[in-house]
Amino acid sequence: MGISISENENGTLYARYMEGKDKDGRPMLLKLNTYEGLNTNRVYHYDTMRYSEEKRSSGTYVYIEMETHLEGEEDKIVTVRISLSLVNGTWLLDSPTY
C-alpha cells in the first residue's frame, strides 16, 4: 500500500514487498518497486455516524458506520464500518480507514 507524507514527488513511499509464490508454489515475498499506493485521502461525513446494525457492539468493542468519499470523488459515497476497542480506559481505532 505505501504511505504518503506530502504532495511532493518524493513525499510518497510505495509498498516494496508483496506475497507471491516461487516456481514450485512455495510462498515467498516479492520486491516491487513500481506499485502505486492506494488513495487514502478520505473525507468522513461525521453527521452520518451511527452504531452498526450488522455487527454487535459491546462495552469494550464498538462498531460504527458512516458515509465517506475519497477527495475529488464526492459523487462516490460509500458506507464504511470502523471498529473501536477500549484499552486501559482509552478508545483506540481497531480497523483500517482506507
pTM above 0.75, yes or no: no
Q: Is the pLDDT of residue 6 over 70?
A: no
List the one residue out of 73, 84, 71, 81 whose CA is nearest residue 42: 71
pLDDT for 53: 85
Q: What is the per-residue pLDDT across 27-83, written as a single tens digit (0 to 9) for each?
A: 887 776 555 656 678 899 999 999 988 888 888 999 999 999 988 889 999 999 989
Contacts of residue 48, defined as CB under 8 A and 6 or more positions apart, other chains included, come to: 66, 67, 79
pLDDT for the residue numbered 57 = 87
pLDDT at 10: 63
